Amino acid sequence: MSTRVRILGTGLIGTSVGLALSRQGYDVTLWDPSPTAMGLARDLGAGRLATAADDAPGAEPEVVVVASPPDVAGSVVAESLSRWPHAVVTDVASVKSAVLQTVRASGSDLSRYVGSHPMAGRERSGAVAARSALFDGRAWVVVPHDGADPAAVTLVARLATDAGAALVTQMSPQAHDDAVAAVSHLPQLAASLVAAQLRGMSQEAVEIAGQGLRDVTRIAASEPGLWTQILAGNAASVRDVLVRLQGDLSRVVEALDQVAAGGSEGALEVLARTISNGNAGHALIPGKHGAVPTAYGIVQSAGLLFFAFAGYARIATLGEEVRDPAMTIPRAITRALGMVIALYAVLALLLLATIGADGIAASPLPLLAAAQAADVSWVGLILRVGATVASLGALLGLMSGVGRTAFAMAREGDLPPQLATVDEQHHVPAVAQLALAAAVVLLVAVTDLRHAIGFSSFGVLTYYAIANLSAWTQDDTHRRWPRPLQLAGLAGCVLLAITLPIGSVLVGAAVIAAGVVGRSAFRRPEDSAPA
């Protein structure tokens, strides 16, 4: 039975939460004081409108997500705790201490309240700007208080993960507010203050602006009313950050006054140190919205991306079905790999030329975004059809290759012998392929494919590492590549495997260990005899 979630507020964040959770099979009901906004969110697929039946005993929500403006979020949380006495209540407001104070003052059951804050958003507001992938790959802060029920904290963290968050972090309310004052609220103020300096400039002066100004002022177009509420709700923490910034600005102003007056002793050091300190601070910033640090993230992404390049190896499993496999298989693998790399390179260059690196990172559909940016949005349907055909082709290749792997393992006694059955008419391992198809359908139906990809990447990297070890033992007659290349390949496979998400590593290692133990315990010596 799916988890019942009530979302109160159908703006950008609330509707995006509904879209993301509905995508994961949650039973989402919606409410908003604006019937138009609520109806639009429903039409977009964020959930269904709540009715009296949804509050009946046994049908009431298990989780309530308060997506109201920050200045009323606390009162809405308190009201929700009273209205649904068994539900876990969370809010997604940008400030947390003020909300907690309001809820505590109401006398509500605080054990069922757990604050949270998805670190995602857009300059556009309203349900029409919502996206189901808004939280994909982003950070989501869970903000429990001292009296929060651990089960409620776990439930909110699971909701964040199911919504797509890649990094779920726990902070206290005050630690959260202090952090967002520096990493979110100050940037908004700085962007607004810099953009405000353009008001008195001539059009000719503004027109010569470069990318630097656009980068600094990108978020200056945010909604004034919303940010007034956010800044007011986190006034103390924002003030502390601004006071520190004010001190730095005062030193820069004094240094510039000194230089303008003809004296530079000590002033140049202040200017240089200001820029240098900025370099140091910038180096601390992880990837977009709290992704893992760049170096580690690149390696981890390479491990996950390995899954996309693994298909060419399926060619090797067809060695029994081709003529002259010693020549044909290596030629086919190298050509297939070369074509894939060339295709990825061309696509990468096209995307960088149209929407840039930031656009690629921000869009869940970068090819479609690039087409729209190039004013050829009509290709959207073609891209979707092409993606569907490509996915089906990859699935058929997977069934063909892995099905034959299962067939070979069954023939050797490592899997049930029924999987070694060959169809008499078509001469293919039909049972193995049907079993694999059933397993794929089951995975798609019951699990998060991101986890399946991580687990699959670990398995692929593991047997590639074993393949490199096997190649190390080849004699000179059969060797195609220098032996040190196998060491490099082994080291690369191990590095990519251990940097995968920890869950993928643990599950993959457990499955491999279980397979080794099972094989040792149940495989009989006669199973390895030639058929």
Q: Which residue has the higher pLDDT, 501 or 10?
A: 10
Domains of the chain, CATH where assigned: 4-171 (3.40.50.720), 180-283 (1.10.3660.10), 447-531 (no CATH)
Q: Is the pLDDT of residue 353 over 60?
A: yes
- In total, the chain counts a number of residues equal to 531
pLDDT confidence band for 211 (50 / 70 / 90): confident
Query: Residue 130 in contact with residue 34, Cβ under 8 Å?
Result: no
The overall pTM is greater than 0.95: no
pLDDT value of position 225: 86
- 250-259 mean pLDDT: 93
Find where tokens 């605080």 sit.
110
Mean pLDDT of 349-378: 70
Q: Which two tokens stand for residue 52?
A: 């009296």
Lowest pLDDT segment from 103-112, 118-127, 131-140: 118-127
* Amino acid 377: pLDDT: 54
Instruction: Say yes or no to pLDDT of 159 above 70.
Output: yes
C-alpha span between 344 and 309 (Å, rounded): 10
Q: Tell me what pLDDT residue 48 has.
A: 95
What does the pLDDT look like over 440-481, one tens digit per residue?
Answer: 788 777 766 666 777 778 888 888 899 889 888 888 887 878
Q: What is the mean pLDDT of residues 400-414?
A: 83
Q: Specify which residues 28 forms β-bridges with.
A: 5
Q: What is the mean pLDDT of residues 338-352?
A: 86
Is the CB of residue 87 less than 8 Å from the CB of residue 64? yes
What does the pLDDT read at residue 120? 85
- Kindly tell me if the per-residue pLDDT of 97 is higher than 60: yes
The residue with greater pLDDT, 58 or 15, is 15
Other C-beta atoms lying within 10 Å of the C-beta of residue 174: 14
